[in-house]
Structure 1
Amino acid sequence: MRTLDHTRLAIGAQAVGIAQGAFDVARDYVKQRKQFGRAIADFQSLQFMLADMAMKIESARQMVYVAAAKAERNEPDLTFYSAAAKVLASDTAMSVTTDAVQLLGGAGYTKDFPVERMMRDAKITQIYEGTNQINRIVMARQLLK
């Protein structure tokens, strides 16, 4: 079980990387894609999506960093933090990659762009090293000790 405290951190880091990659593709795409005579990045609703995506990614990244620091110091609350980092980061990756597919429109669902694969990769991070539902049980048990 202590091994999971460390491997869940790796899944969290993987999920942050997937989310960041999808965000980068989506951001670059909306800057160059034109609709109605202007870049779709000029539309406020898409700007809000990008801002929310970036905020979620940074939150997940910080949670992974905190959990990694606790692992390095072998702190007693590592179990909670590693589970929380894995859950937050993988849920973020799923949310961000889904939004990235949305921002790319029909192109987002094709193999011409990597975001369709990133969305599938994000999903597996919610499943392995304990599903996110199981990790929520782990966190609750740590909180109720």
Structure 2
Amino acid sequence: MPFITFYESDFYKIEVDTAQNLLRAIWLRPISYAEMKTGGTKLYEVLLDTEVELAIANAKTLTSLSAETKAWMSSTFYELLSQTKLRKLARVLPDNVFHLIALESVVTRAEAMGVTKFVVKNFSDPAIALRWITTP
């Protein structure tokens, strides 16, 4: 079964292939705090509705995030995702080392706070992320 689009805006797209138990989300451009909250909340809603257990989040286009955005992601966002059936999250991160470190620190903080109830792994290549997420 092919991917079906569940949400699409000018900054974010969420697709699901229920046969593969897989969600694919992609940030389409740099975003604001409000857009991160909107996209993150939509991701939570789609995961809740579909009960998909595997997800790839492509954040290659993201640039610097505000302190407010990072704080929301590391606390509220990862806590929301932990309320779904999500088991594995593959994150495809930007090539820019500063943007990459900022996104890595969000997960590190969330894990330290004990809000992540799923496995998170970071990648630079979407194909390698897909291979990891679909390997039992």
TM-score range, shorter chain: under 0.3
* Higher RCO, 1 vs 2 (CA within 8 Å, ≥6 residues apart): 1
Tell me which structure has the larger Cα radius of gyration: 1
Normalized against structure 1, the TM-score is what? 0.26
TM-score (normalised: structure 2): 0.27
Task: Pick the structure with more helix per residue.
Answer: 1
